[in-house]
Amino acid sequence: MASGVLTGYISKYTVSIDTATSDLAAAQAMSVIGFLVGISAVVLIVLFVVMNKPVLRLVGLIASFVAAGFILIGVIVVGDFNNGFYDVGWAMIMAILGGLLYVGTGIVLVVDLVKK
Tens digit of each residue's pLDDT, the chain (116 residues): 445 444 555 545 555 555 567 878 888 899 999 999 999 999 999 999 999 999 999 999 999 999 999 999 999 888 887 666 666 678 888 999 999 999 999 999 999 999 97
Show the DSSP H helices in the chain as ranges: 22-51, 54-82, 89-115
- For the entire predicted model, the pTM comes to 0.77
Q: Say what the alpha-carbon torsion angle 3, 4, 8, 12 is, to the nearest 10 degrees.
A: 30
For residue 37, the model assigns a pLDDT of 97
CA–CA separation, 35 and 29 (whole Å) = 10
Cα–Cα–Cα angle for 24, 72, 1, nearest 5°?
Answer: 20
Write out the DSSP string of 23-41: HHHHHHHHHHHHHHHHHHH
Where do the structural domains in the chain lie, given as residue ranges?
21-115
CA–CA separation, 35 and 77 (whole Å) = 16
